[in-house]
Each structure stands twice: as structure tokens, then as C-alpha cells.
Amino acid sequence: MALLASIKDSEIGKIQMIVRISHYLQKHPFQRHLVFLGLALLAIAVNGYHFGTFDQVFHLTFLKKFVSPELYPNDVFLNLRWYHFSYFWFLFIPLFKIGLLEIGMFFVHVLTVYGTLWMFWELSNLLFKNQTANLLIVLALVFPHLGFPGFQIIEFSLLNRTFVLPFLLGSIWLYLKNKKIWAFLLLGLMFNLHVIYAVFVLCMFLLDEAIRFQFKFWKKPVLQIIIFMIAGLPVLIWRMGTGDGIDLTLRPEMLDLAARGLLFTVYFPVSTIPHVIGNLIAGIATAWGFILGYHHLPNNEQHRTMRNFVYAIAVLIAVGTLASYLLPITIILQMQILRAGVFLLYFGMLYLSGFIGEQYRQHRLKTSGFLLISLSFILFITPLFTILLWHLLKLLNRSRFSPAWLIPVVIIIQAVTVLAASQTGLWEPGWHIYGPQSPWRDVQEWARARTPLDSRFISPPHIFWHYTPDWRVFSERASVVTIPEIMELPFDPGFAASFQERFEAVAPGAIDAFNGDYMRSLEITEKAFYTNSEINFEELGCRFSADYLVVEREHPYNLTMVYQNEGFIVYQLPGCE
């Protein structure tokens, strides 16, 4: 009993400190923004920062091709750079030319995370007017949280979708403040940087306008749409002048190939694949969190607007699901509409923080219960556990069991989660401002330094991961084919035939074995790649005009070696008759 009393005393002190800090930050803007910056750096340390990996394998390669057109000659994959309709990466061309790209991107990433925390605070303050809720949401952003279809709020690298997030949240804040002209203008500008996320927010605005529409005020929504279109005109012109423009054809074969390879989660919400099930549960939890907060908070105009936004997300997800299962229209597939679920994660986390803050302000949560719920909200990767703990607390309130005893359980669960994520390679903290240092990076740099610009490599197509770069990134040399190319198929469906031909040749039988589990796809590709013999690789070299073969050291071949390190071997492929 003495131990329990000491725990309670400690909890009371911590709660009082949290409340005092939240009130202090609300009254002192300068100190508040210093805290945002400090938390941004902490969030980057926790989530990690990785240059040249994951989605950056496309953007950096395309950027290099734009700056130096002589790179990657005859590599058909680089033609897809015209199908990434964003001016964001062009802003980094001056930094790239003076050798400051890496440090410049890191600096922008820090500002982006800082801006994201700032906008979440402002939205929370506008919606709930509860300083405790404000502090809870920015503290929660320090740690990874997942919703549907599996994207984090704070990601581990700078991307155009991460950069526009604080601005999109800002446009939502302006809309809620009834400054709609400015909201549509800002949204239109962001449309030039990330089309998909801007369209999601546009759909939210338009549905809310449709629900509230009054004919006598028809000029206002028309003017807002015109302002959006004028602001977004540069990328609209680019989009309409590239490829087939708005493509309404059906592409079931392309969808099947892309989804079974690496993109299942952005097209299909339901599967027996473990991580797809996890994403769906996490998505349901975010919706549950929003509903819980919405129904326990005062009903006003701003909350009804947010409810309409959630309706829009539900409509988008329904349309995306219908398209994937029944009507795979190209333009809908290109929008990857299920990704609208990430905004449900944002809104669910916001409303859950508002709910917790309001419950504590109205004394419906005791001190130990508030600390327990707050810890789970901040630390756990999904809000599901927080919601379940809340319902458990309601049962415990009828007994003498103290919620304080559950606090160590929360910490243990988080420790196990961290251990599992690090062991499986799903979580890798660290500041890799200039990219990963590894044998894979080393062999790419050898290729860049020691081979002609027009060299072409048969590289291991399976070596790619959240924290592992694609062959082209640091080698600046063409590859016959690599697996991340499959993620680009929806943007130019005509590219699918070329990809399938090259991939099937280099990793025979792999495509037929894909089942939608992207982790398994990498393993399948690796096994298929190494079924090739020396003769097969020589034939592939002739067929695709490849000069070199790169393999992992545990798979040596009887070919002419030109370089090796502790992880890889490079072979010179013989000339063709």
C-alpha cells in the first residue's frame, strides 16, 4: 500500500507539471515555438532520418536526370520522371548544383516537422480550446503512429507529401476559421507540389460546401474553386500535356501487377496478409478515436465541418475500394485513393487528444487514469490500445483496483513493440543526412567513380527497403530493372509491358509468385534472381546491353571480377557477337 501511495503522489506531481507546462506554452508563443523545434528534433531522432531511400529512390534519381540529362542513357525507367507531377523537387536544383542538396533537404525536413507540430497544435487549440489536449497531440507526434493504409504522421525522410502536410493542415485551419478564400488559395498552391493529398483536402472542402450549399450564396463556392484552379494551374497544364491526360480506360492487368508486387495496401483494404490486417485495424481505430472525441465534445459549427471532412474521407475510400475490386479506371488508380485514410489518422489523433483533455478537465478521469491514458496515447503505435484502455478504466472505476498498476504494463508493451520493430527492420532510428553507409552504398560509389556514364548494370533487383536505396541512387548508372519500378506503374500504365519484360527476364517466375505481401515479394525476387547461371547472365547482358553484373558475395559466379567488397562482387560481362 505504501508503494501504491508513492506511485500516486508521483503521478499527481507529473499531471500537475503537464497542466502547468501546457498553460505556460499557451501564454508564451516564443517559448512554445522553441518547444515545437525541440520536439521536431526529438521526433526526427525517434523516427530516424534517411536520405536516398524508400520513395526518395525515385525523386532523387529523377532530380539528377533533370539536372544532368546525360545520366542514365537508354534507361527507360527515367522517362517516368515526366509523370511525377510536382514542382517540389525543382526547388532543390540550385542546392544540388552547389553540392548542398543533402544538408539542404535535412534543414527543410526539420522545418517541415516543426511546421507539422505547429499546425496540429493550432488545429487542436481551435477545435477544443484545451491546453492539455494541445500538448498531448504534439507529444504524440514525437512517436510513430500508424493508421490506414499504413503511413506514419512524421515520416523518416523528406518527401513532397511530408512537406505539404503542414500547409494542408493550415488550409484546413483557415477553412475552419471561415477564411475560405485563403484556404482554397493555399490548397491550390500545394496542388503544384503534391497533387494527390491536395485533391483529398479539396474533396473535403467541396463536400462540406455541398452539404451547406444555399443557392442565394452560389457565387462564393464558385469563386473559391476558381481561385484553387488558378493557383494550381501550373501543374494542371503539365498534367494535361503529358501522356494520355485524364485516362479513363480500365487497367485490371496493371493493377494486378502493381498490387501483387508492392502496392497492395494502397489499393485493397482487406486481405489475409498480416500487415494489411494490422493496417485495417489501425484504420478502424482512428475512425473510432474520431467518433469517441466527436460525440463527447460540444457540438458546434467547426466540429460539424470536421465531421463532413470525415464523410468525404469515407466516400473517397469507398470509391477507391470500388475501383480496385470492380472498376479499375486508370485515373482513379493513379490517385491511390485509399491513401485518404492518412487524414483519418490525423483527425482521429486530434479528436482523441481533445477527448482525453476534455475528460480530464471535467474530472471524469482521475489522476492515475489520465496518466495511463495519456502515456498510451503518446507512445502506442495505434490509438486502438488507448481506446480499449479507456473502456477498461470505466470498468475499473467500479472496483478498488488502481489504474496506476497498469502504467508499467503500458511501458512494457511499448518496449516489446520497439524491440519487435527494430528486429524486423521496420524501425531504424538514426541521422543519415548523407545516406546510409554500407557495402551496398560502397559498390554504387565504385560504379559512379570507375565506370563510364553510359554503363548499364544487372543489379540485384530485390535490394530495396524503407532504409535501403535502389541501385540508381548513388551509382548514377542505369540498371536493367529493379523492383521499386513496380511502384511507378500506375503513373504511366504503358510502362508496365517494358517493366514486366525486363523483370521476368532478370528474375524469372517472380511475378507469378507475388501475392501482395511486399516483404515476401523481395524474398521471391531474390530467389528468382539467383536461379540465373553464368550463361543466363551473359545472355541477359547481350539482350539488354548490360556491361556489368552485381551480385551479393554469397552468390559468386565464374565470370571476370572487377571489384568486390565485404558484401558484393562486380563482374564484367563479356561482349556480344
Note the pLDDT of residue 13. 55
How does residue 7 score in pLDDT terms, banded at 50, 70 and 90? very low
CB-based contacts of 381: which residues, under 8 Å, 6+ apart? Answer: 143, 144, 145, 146, 282, 417
Note the pLDDT of residue 14. 56
What CA–CA distance (Å, rounded) separates 353 from 351? 5
What CA–CA distance (Å, rounded) separates 353 from 128? 9
Note the pLDDT of residue 577. 67
Stretch 114-129: mean pLDDT, rounded? Answer: 97
pLDDT tens-digit series, residues 514-561? 999 999 999 999 999 999 999 999 999 999 999 999 999 999 999 999
pLDDT tens-digit series, residues 343-354? 999 999 999 999
pLDDT tens-digit series, residues 253-308? 999 999 999 999 999 999 999 889 999 999 999 999 999 999 988 889 999 999 99
What CA–CA distance (Å, rounded) separates 375 from 380? 8
What CA–CA distance (Å, rounded) separates 377 from 87? 36
Q: 49-50 and 548-552: which strand pairing? A: unpaired
Note the pLDDT of residue 552. 98
Stretch 453-466: mean pLDDT, rounded? Answer: 96
Greatest Cα pair distance, the chain, in angstroms, is 87
How does residue 10 score in pLDDT terms, banded at 50, 70 and 90? low
Note the pLDDT of residue 15. 61
What CA–CA distance (Å, rounded) separates 156 from 158? 7
Cα dihedral 167, 168, 173, 178 sign: positive
- Higher-pLDDT residue of 158 and 240 is 158
Cα dihedral 74, 499, 66, 445 sign: negative
Stretch 243-254: mean pLDDT, rounded? Answer: 86
Q: What is the DSSP letter of 260?
A: I
Could you give the 3-state DSSP secondary structure of residue 311?
A: helix
Residue ranges covered by each domain of the chain: 17-47+85-366+376-386, 439-572
For the cut 70, the answer to whether the pLDDT of residue 6 exceeds it is no
**CB-CB contact of 370 with 145 (8 Å):** no
How does residue 243 score in pLDDT terms, banded at 50, 70 and 90? confident
For the cut 60, the answer to whether the pLDDT of residue 500 exceeds it is yes
For the cut 90, the answer to whether the pLDDT of residue 241 exceeds it is no
pLDDT tens-digit series, residues 174-216? 999 999 999 999 999 999 999 999 999 999 999 999 999 888 7
Give the 3-state DSSP-derived string for 115-184, with helices as H, strands as E and coil as C. Answer: HHHHHHHHHHHHHHCCHHHHHHHHHHCCCCCECCCCCECCCCCCCHHHHHHHHHHHHHHHHHCCCHHHHH
Q: String of b and e for 307-335 (b: at least 16 CB within 10 Å)?
A: bbbbebbeebbebbbebbeeebbbebbbb
Q: Which helix (H) or strand (E) holds 569?
A: strand 568-572
pLDDT tens-digit series, residues 438-457? 999 999 999 999 999 999 99
Stretch 459-472: mean pLDDT, rounded? Answer: 96
Evaluate if pTM is beyond 0.75.
Answer: yes
Stretch 8-14: mean pLDDT, rounded? Answer: 53
What CA–CA distance (Å, rounded) separates 72 from 452? 11
For the cut 50, the answer to whether the pLDDT of residue 491 exceeds it is yes
Mean pLDDT taken over the chain: 93
CB atoms within 10 A of CB 63: 19
What CA–CA distance (Å, rounded) separates 142 from 140? 5
pLDDT tens-digit series, residues 392-408? 888 877 776 777 788 88
CB-based contacts of 199: which residues, under 8 Å, 6+ apart? Answer: 191, 335
pLDDT tens-digit series, residues 353-373? 999 999 998 888 888 889 999
pLDDT tens-digit series, residues 93-113? 999 999 999 999 999 999 999
What CA–CA distance (Å, rounded) separates 426 from 410? 21
Full DSSP string of 374-433: HHHHHH-SSTHHHHHHHHHHHHHTTSS--GGGGHHHHHHHHHHHHHHHHHTTS----EET
